Structure 1
């Protein structure tokens, strides 16, 4: 019994902030399948995600209560500070699900306020860490996880856009504020993705350095697309908003195009990582057939870790954003893409969940 208590205590003490990416990933895949009209899958994932979120919040609060110095140390470490933004995005994602599936606008608004406070705290932490790390080379500061700053910022605007539906006649300044958050996220994306691109393509970058958070290069563009498409759809149908609507739609389509351009490179890098790195003998057949099977299968070559969820969220987000863009732009030809990509995202989600469960079981198994 003391062994299990020690495992739980260490698990809380060393709780990885990236675990909230599990909530992000499960939530957006759920919302994507609801948009695809597969309500049974969507609602099952919604219920499961509520369990994930509550469990992770309990662990997070326990860490604050019993291991506050370790939590502070993570906040003061730049590479970990980015990851706390997964709490912001995960909270907003749960809020979106509650709004869509249960029409619980009040509860969703409460979660949005929690996420907004969390966003301010995380941004403050990131700024403090950036000031401390200003003398370091750029490749030691910037990574795929850096783009969580963009995702967190845009997620605030995304849920706020839907919450405006619950207000009979939202004031104009509400749309302006939401639009400002969205534009801030767009600008941050252009800046950060330029730095990430430099690190990936203009300096030595090995396959072993590739990791799931680099998928956020596409995922950040995808959430900008989703938020932009929803913003365009929800703007008042008044002549005064026409120019803003056209401008926002143009920016949204540009973000979707940029996100789409990232996908082939990311797929290739994933395949190279899964088929080459950490394999000393012949490549197993299941890895040859489907490289992402290493997330869940095999005793020797399974490579799941908490940041692996950073791969699933962009995949689900691309599905959801493409459907939203098709609606906003009135282009039904785009609908074909998510009806294939969405199932791929669900498969990767399943494999990642299997990897997480295996990791959890192995932690409690006798040595």
Structure 2
């Protein structure tokens, strides 16, 4: 290895050690792209390399960067690269999924909206920490957490058009029938969480625009809730009340 000493020096560095996980994410991104073109053998090799590297680095980096240093507090040197650990794990999961199952229009169901809701929960948690009363740990991390909350809010915002486009691709471009099922409520929760997160983040980080977006999104979430509720009632009436329990039971037995 041409830069062995530099690698050894970076591993115990809390601000640089987690950057090694970019190798895993990059390898899986390449593998997923090749799988989309049908190069499954190459993708399998890249997945194996990435998975093995993820297992090794998953133990080595946290141990050397966090537990293997005497510097305290370690969190003082934490930065956004720590989240690459999570991204690397997600990239392995995505690559494995592409190897096992093809991505079909009917697979893009409503629960995919939960990914946006997860980001919104992170934003809300960060905003609440920023608003906490002064304490040594809070004061040391308030700026970092406030900045990361904005990054996660921006990513959640970016996901909304992507998820809408995925729904269009599923139901309009590929003509998958749009019918009610319980998973529709997986859209309502993320929208509501995104609205609440925006309101709190706007107040905590003094970002009026984010707060305005959150307040507007709250009405959007309420509208989607009303639509989902009405559709649920109509579905219940058509499938149970109007048809009759006996007919439904006969259809289920058939």
TM bucket normalised to smaller? 0.5 to 0.7
Please state how far the C-alpha of 1:350 moved relative to its aligned partner: 1.1
- Figure out how many residues of one structure are paired with residues of the other and give that number: 161
Name the CA distance, whole Å, in 2 between partners of 1:363 and 1:241: 54
Q: In structure 1, what is the equivalent of residue 128 of structure 2?
A: 230
Q: Which has the higher contact order (CA 8 A, sep 6+)?
A: 1
Please state how far the C-alpha of 1:213 moved relative to its aligned partner: 0.6
Q: 1:268 and 1:259, CA in 2 relative to 1: closer, same or farther beyond 3 A? A: same
Please state how far the C-alpha of 1:273 moved relative to its aligned partner: 2.3
The answer on 1:257 being equivalent to 2:154 is yes
- Asked whether the equivalents of residues 193 and 217 of structure 1 are also in contact (C-alpha less than 8 Å), the reply is no
Q: In structure 2, what is the equivalent of residue 244 of structure 1?
A: 141
Alignment counterpart, residue 327 of structure 1, candidates 203, 210, 218: 203
Name the CA distance, whole Å, in 2 between partners of 1:311 and 1:200: 23
- Provide the secondary structure at the position in 1 that maps to 2:131: helix
- Asked whether the equivalents of residues 171 and 178 of structure 2 are also in contact (C-alpha less than 8 Å), the reply is no
Q: In structure 2, what is the equivalent of residue 354 of structure 1?
A: 230
Q: Aligned ranges for residues 145-294 of structure 1 at < 5 Å? A: 190=87, 193-195=90-92, 198=95, 204-234=102-132, 236-238=133-135, 241-278=138-175
Name the CA distance, whole Å, in 2 between partners of 1:324 and 1:352: 26
Q: In structure 1, what is the equivalent of residue 185 of structure 2?
A: 309
Name the CA distance, whole Å, in 1 between partners of 2:137 and 2:183: 44
Q: Tell me the C-alpha RMSD between the 2 structures.
A: 3.0
The answer on 1:336 being equivalent to 2:200 is no
Name the CA distance, whole Å, in 1 between partners of 2:233 and 2:85: 35
Please state how far the C-alpha of 1:307 moved relative to its aligned partner: 1.1
Listed as ranges, the gaps of 5+ residues in structure 1 are 1-137, 139-185, 280-300
Please state how far the C-alpha of 1:274 moved relative to its aligned partner: 2.9
TM-score by length of 2: 0.54
Please state how far the C-alpha of 1:335 moved relative to its aligned partner: 2.1
Listed as ranges, the gaps of 5+ residues in structure 2 are 1-46, 48-82, 248-254
Name the CA distance, whole Å, in 2 between partners of 1:226 and 1:322: 8
- Asked whether the equivalents of residues 189 and 220 of structure 1 are also in contact (C-alpha less than 8 Å), the reply is no
Q: In structure 1, what is the equivalent of residue 14 of structure 2?
A: none
Q: What does the per-residue CA deviation read over 1:197-224, in whole Å, with 9 as the maximum and x for residues that have no partner?
A: 5478898422221101111111100011
Q: 1:189 and 1:343, CA in 2 relative to 1: closer, same or farther beyond 3 A? A: farther
- Asked whether the equivalents of residues 201 and 211 of structure 2 are also in contact (C-alpha less than 8 Å), the reply is no
Q: In structure 2, what is the equivalent of residue 363 of structure 1?
A: 240
Q: What does the per-residue CA deviation read over 1:125-169, in whole Å, with 9 as the maximum and x for residues that have no partner?
A: xxxxxxxxxxxxx9xxxxxxxxxxxxxxxxxxxxxxxxxxxxxxx
Q: 1:312 and 1:240, CA in 2 relative to 1: closer, same or farther beyond 3 A? A: closer
Which structure: larger Rg?
2
Please state how far the C-alpha of 1:247 moved relative to its aligned partner: 2.2
